[in-house]
Structure 1
Amino acid sequence: MINQKIAALRQDYKRATLDEQDAAPVPVAQFERWWQEVIQSELEEPNAMTLATSTADGRPSARIVLLKSFDEQGFLFFTNYDSRKGHELAENPRATLLFFWKELERQVRIEGTVTKAGAAVSDAYFLSRPMGSRIGAIASPQSQVIPGRDFLENRVLELERELAQTGPGRPEHWGGYVVKPEVVEFWQGRSSRLHDRLRYVLQEGNSWKIERLAP
């Protein structure tokens, strides 16, 4: 059944184009170009991205996480290793990231393998976080069933008392993941749904092939 009010919602995209001759030779350089434009546009939380994972038997799940860094090695985010996504990445260390920058009429989709970030990287970022966020990461058994919000709030109060002198260090169950890209697609909205889609595919020898996809 089609809801006509929903089906009639549409936007014609006309802000920009994406041509092969203008694209950077490697995806991280192209991402950097778009990232700088996003920052200059002053969008709220431009580092928000959908992280899609799946179990070993292919049951998918997705949620929003925050990008914390990127370079030639991959795209970095942090989370609880004992969360649902952490368990799924342990079973199936592959993931997809999706950025949607509505105001710029752009999407970036990144598919690749996932590894844990080094302990030093995770330690440094954890200690840079506000005290409340650090305590919250320890207090919350992420993705597990809890009896109510009081459980969390009481646990936070306990930890604040316990760690008042020393401050919280990074727990073993919390840290970073790096998504190393194998396929990266840049999507630029165009008029009449004839969008520009350029896909970078990793080749042997770590070179990249650029392909245009039909919208």
Structure 2
Amino acid sequence: MCSKIESETDIGKVDGDKVYTQNDDLQSGLAYIDVKEYDYDPIKLFKSWFEEAKGSDLVMPNAACLATASRDGQQVTARHLLLRKLDNDNGFIIMTDKRSKKCKHLAENPNVSMAFLWNYKKDGEIISRQVRIDGIAEELDKSDYIELYEDQPLYCKVRAHLCHQGKVIDNWNELKLKHDILYNNFVEEGKVLEMPDHFVAYKVHPKMIEFYGTTEYEIADRAMFLLQEDSSWLWKRIAA
């Protein structure tokens, strides 16, 4: 139940689009996403928000939730992974194990949905932003992402050789022994951990990008962009 305001003096003063009071419960405002500032281009807007998130205190601003589905839609699965690169042609590149459930889904049904969530403080104000992306996942040629593999930290390369993603582990100690052998081969013997055949990358080509933005006491604004047949974007402002 909403609290009743006893008098006009309880409301406080209005400054721009926000209402300020001594009581946090009585503050409200309306957020505004200025799409014109980004030339009505959702990729420019994403890059701006992403760069700001990377400059905040967030640990992994490139983390995204990826949802996939089987061909018949009976199995829908979501998991978090990392955005590895935003390609020059506006594709969102991710990497994974080709033996995983997500890759089985992608082979049957390339339609995916991604979501980024960023909550952080800027100049003492809480910023809350979400970006949703619906699109088609395309498996890339190895030559397109080998550099991304090479740039991975050591533990990621060890994992790529060690782990069969999603497979049941019968003996943790045996897995640990294999890990230590791989690690020692690299550190002590200088053996190179080449990119394994099951290491794969996908590019998500967006068909829809939706932005949700607000601050601590504001009602969120949302801007949805839909890709047209001529590769232009049609945008609409939608209610929170």
TM range (shorter): 0.7 to 0.9
Paired positions, count: 205
TM-score where L is the length of structure 2: 0.77
The structure with the largest alpha-carbon Rg is: 2
Change (3 A) 1:78 1:153: same
Paired position in structure 2 for 1:95: 112
Change (3 A) 1:162 1:40: closer
Moved more, 204-213 or 40-49: 40-49
Q: 1:21: how far off?
A: 3.6
Q: Note if 1:141 corresponds to 2:158.
A: no
Secondary structure, counterpart of 1:134 in structure 2:
helix
Paired position in structure 2 for 1:5: none
CA contact (8 A) 2:226 2:235 kept: yes
Specify the code of the residue in structure 1 equivalent to 2:142. Answer: A
When you count helix as a share of all residues, which structure comes out higher? Answer: 1
Paired position in structure 2 for 1:62: 78
Give RMSD over aligned pairs: 2.4
**1:83 paired residue among 100, 120, 144:** 100
Task: Indicate the percent of aligned positions where both proteins have the same amino acid.
Answer: 30
Give the whole-Å Cα distance in 2 for the aligned partners of 1:124 and 1:191: 40
Give the whole-Å Cα distance in 2 for the aligned partners of 1:70 and 1:129: 16
Q: Note if 1:17 corresponds to 2:42.
A: no
Q: Note if 1:126 corresponds to 2:168.
A: no
- The higher-RCO structure (CA 8 Å, 6+ apart) is 1
Secondary structure, counterpart of 1:49 in structure 2:
strand
Paired position in structure 2 for 1:115: 138
CA offsets, 1:173-194, max 9 Å, x none? 0121110100000001267774
Give the whole-Å Cα distance in 2 for the aligned partners of 1:183 and 1:38: 21
TM-score where L is the length of structure 1: 0.85
Q: 1:39: how far off?
A: 2.3
Give the whole-Å Cα distance in 2 for the aligned partners of 1:131 and 1:43: 23
Give the whole-Å Cα distance in 2 for the aligned partners of 1:176 and 1:133: 14
5+ long unaligned stretches in structure 1: 1-9
Q: Note if 1:43 corresponds to 2:58.
A: yes
Q: 1:76: how far off?
A: 0.8
